[in-house]
């Protein structure tokens, strides 16, 4: 019985992994059938993100809130950035595309202005930071000559620029490191994530002083875990077994630089007390990381 049960479990796992790449790609008769799962596959595809275990406040012996900047120019962070095109199908999307589409459809009901999740933002509120609309000089002349309003102005005189996946150059991640005394180990929990890009009004101006990336919006991470579990990131080692964005982020398969920790000075950022010195800011980030890591090591020193 045990051997038979083991074989059944193995077959179920194999069947689940075999359909993660592009469903039905080997059985499709026409291109439209690629990605369309059969009824049997849909019944098997009922996995959910791994649930967080309950952590009581009394079980937390030590904790430190940190904010990290995940720069997408680094190769290890490429799965969060690519693809930037829209022609690779529904199963190949960047993280920003997944977040934005779910916001537009209402699957992500709440986004926030800051990482403390105190001020909600609507799509109308975000329009100014995600879209730039400018009337050309010829359009202004047309309005003056014909006495028309902006709403009546022909599209040829209006320049529109939207923030797209290719414009996102980093992600800001808020997380909590804590030592669980019941489990006896140091753990990490993501609390919020925000895509960051230059100001849309100056994004195409290479010489602008406003090229520093700013967060577009903040999302409370536990609220969007199921959506990020359904969306898959590309696995460069094995395209038949892509990894979900939720798994990628929770397993910390990215490289981030700590730019802020909670502190008595109002959670000031590293650059506020170490100004105009990139090397010292990097060393300060490493100092904060080592301080957290050393706490766990010290717990086992006798």
Q: How distant is the alpha carbon of residue 185 from its chain centre?
A: 26
The fraction of the chain above a pLDDT of 70, given in percent, is 84
Query: Rounded CA gap, 280 and 255, in Å?
Result: 19
pLDDT reading at 207 higher than 60: yes
Residue 189 structure tokens: 């929990």
Mean pLDDT of the chain: 85
Q: Which residue would you say has higher pLDDT here, 239 or 110? A: 110
Q: Which residue would you say has higher pLDDT here, 153 or 18? A: 153
Give strand pairing partners of 158.
135
Query: Tell me, what's the pLDDT at 50?
Result: 86
| Residue 276 backbone zone (phi > 0: left; psi -120 to 50: alpha; other: beta) | left
Query: Tell me, what's the pLDDT at 208?
Result: 65
Query: Tell me, what's the pLDDT at 298?
Result: 86
Is residue 12 very low, low, confident or very high in pLDDT (cuts 50, 70, 90)?
very low
Q: Which residue would you say has higher pLDDT here, 1 or 282? A: 282
Q: Which residue would you say has higher pLDDT here, 86 or 230? A: 230
Average pLDDT over residues 167-186: 94
Residue 170 structure tokens: 């980093």
The lowest-confidence range among 37-46, 164-173, 200-209, 229-238 is: 37-46
Query: Tell me, what's the pLDDT at 22?
Result: 60
Share in percent of the chain as helix, strand, coil (round to 5): 40, 20, 40
Strands (E), 156-256: 158-162, 170-180, 185-197, 214-215, 219-220, 232-233, 243-244
Strands (E), 242-291: 243-244, 257-261
Q: Are 220 and 112 in contact (CB under 8 A)?
A: yes
Query: Tell me, what's the pLDDT at 13?
Result: 42
Query: Tell me, what's the pLDDT at 202?
Result: 84
What's the length of the chain?
Answer: 302
The whole-model pTM stands at 0.82
In degrees to the nearest 10, what's the CA dihedral of 98, 101, 103, 104?
180
| Start-to-end Cα distance in the chain | 47
pLDDT reading at 16 higher than 80: no
Query: Tell me, what's the pLDDT at 153?
Result: 84
Query: Tell me, what's the pLDDT at 119?
Result: 93
Taking only the tens place, the pLDDT of each residue in 237-291 is 888 888 999 999 999 999 999 999 999 999 999 999 999 999 999 999 999 999 9
Q: Which residue would you say has higher pLDDT here, 299 or 43? A: 299
Query: Tell me, what's the pLDDT at 112?
Result: 96
Is residue 296 very low, low, confident or very high in pLDDT (cuts 50, 70, 90)?
confident
The lowest-confidence range among 20-24, 123-127, 139-143, 296-300 is: 20-24
Query: Rounded CA gap, 45 and 39, in Å?
Result: 10
């Amino acid at each position: 019985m045990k051997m038979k049960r083991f074989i059944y479990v193995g077959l179920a796992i194999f069947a689940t992994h075999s359909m993660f790449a592009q469903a039905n790609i080997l059985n499709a008769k026409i291109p439209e059938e690629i990605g369309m799962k059969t009824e049997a596959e849909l019944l098997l595809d009922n996995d959910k993100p791994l649930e967080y275990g309950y952590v009581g406040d009394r079980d937390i012996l030590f904790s430190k809130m940190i904010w990290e900047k995940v720069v997408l120019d680094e190769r290890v962070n490429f799965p969060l950035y690519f693809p930037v095109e829209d022609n690779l199908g529904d199963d190949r999307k960047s993280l920003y595309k997944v977040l934005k589409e779910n916001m537009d459809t209402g699957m992500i009901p709440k986004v926030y202005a800051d990482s403390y999740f105190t001020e909600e933002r609507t799509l109308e509120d975000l329009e100014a930071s995600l879209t730039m609309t400018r009337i050309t000089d010829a359009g202004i002349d047309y309005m003056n000559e014909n006495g028309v309003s902006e709403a009546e102005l022909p599209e040829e005189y209006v320049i529109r620029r939207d923030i797209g996946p290719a414009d996102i150059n980093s992600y800001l991640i808020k997380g909590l490191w804590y030592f669980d005394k019941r489990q006896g180990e140091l753990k990490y929990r993501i609390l919020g994530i925000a895509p960051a890009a230059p100001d849309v009004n100056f994004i195409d101006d290479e010489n602008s002083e406003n090229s520093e990336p700013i967060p577009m919006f903040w999302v409370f991470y536990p609220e969007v875990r199921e959506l990020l579990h359904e969306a898959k990131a590309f696995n460069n080692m094995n395209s038949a077994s892509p990894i979900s964005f939720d798994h990628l982020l929770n397993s910390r398969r990215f490289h981030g630089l700590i730019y802020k920790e909670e502190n008595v000075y109002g959670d000031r950022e590293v650059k506020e007390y170490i100004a105009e010195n990139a090397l010292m800011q990097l060393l300060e980030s490493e100092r904060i990381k080592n301080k957290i890591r050393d706490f766990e090591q010290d717990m086992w020193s006798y």
